[in-house]
Amino acid sequence: MRWPPPQDWPHADISRQVLASPHRWHVQETGDGPLILLLHGAGGSTHSLRGLITQLGQTRRVVAIDLPGQGFTQLGARHRCGLQTMAADIEKLCQQEGWVPDAIVGHSAGTALALKLSETLLSPRGQPPQVVGINPALDTFDGIAGVLFPAIAKMLAAIPFSASVFSATASNPARIQALIRGTGSDLDAHGLRCYQRLVADRDHVDGTLLMMAQWSLDALVRSLPRLQTQALFIVGSRDGAVPPRVARDAAKHMTKASVIEIEGFGHLVHEEAPELVARHVLEFLDG
């Protein structure tokens, strides 16, 4: 999406651009105190973290970024959209800006990035930053979907104008609402309009397809038993995108992980109930 964010974009007043090779990042920063880094999931942007920014920013310093090629972050290298390369580029951004996060909060695929970053970043205490994963996508697709989905994403990412065609056909308001409801969540009109803007933007769709095509969780899943990261997974009981069992299975393989399930909410629980999710986050970090 073209810089700058429109005035009605969530928290546009705290948005700024940061050039940290190879990308030109969209950053939102507010608050004071221990630093929490916020990472959205695939196909999202900082708008999905708007409620958490407001809630957590009351007692913490909060930094939220758009992932490469998504939202208002301009992609600088098309081959750096996988888990390993994206984590390395975020680490470089943190070092350049002097960000030393006490905690990293990730939604969906953002949880994988948070856990990967916890292997290399250190908090001010000299320990891995604590990680909170909201409906964490920490499992490979089952069966034939694990073969077809990445292949389809690679094909679409390689075909000229495929992102434009997808944007034109998928950005219909009714389709956006159906897509969101398919995840088990219900959003207000403003939240739906933000997703409609994203899906209607060719560059955002292109960046999301590149991420899907290059994403692999195999190495991270194998490393879970060795991670010394303190982690909390918050899941919505109605999640239609990533079943709650994924978080429970991942936690079983980790030495310092726990799960909280919130009844009545879906994959976007942090947008539906930001006050409740923020309370769980702060209780975990303070406890």
Report pLDDT digits (tens) over 226-279. Answer: 999 999 999 999 999 899 999 999 999 999 999 999 999 999 999 999 999 999
Which residues sit opposite 38 in a β-bridge?
Answer: 64, 105
pLDDT band at 19 (very low <50, low <70, confident <90, very high): very high
57 class by beta-carbon count within 10 Å (0-12 exposed, 13-18 middle, 19+ buried): buried
Looking at domain 12-140+218-286, does it have CATH number 3.40.50.1820?
A: yes
pLDDT at 118: 98
pLDDT band at 158 (very low <50, low <70, confident <90, very high): low
Instruction: Report the C-alpha gap between 52 and 3 in whole angstroms.
Output: 23
**Cα separations (Å) of 72 from 26, 139, 155, 176?**
5, 28, 24, 20
219 class by beta-carbon count within 10 Å (0-12 exposed, 13-18 middle, 19+ buried): exposed
Q: Are 138 and 112 in contact (CB under 8 A)?
A: yes
Report angle CA 43, 49, 51 to the nearest 5 degrees: 145
- Eight-state DSSP code of residue 2: P
* Straight-line distance from the first to the last Cα atom of the chain, in angstroms, rounded to the nearest whole number: 39
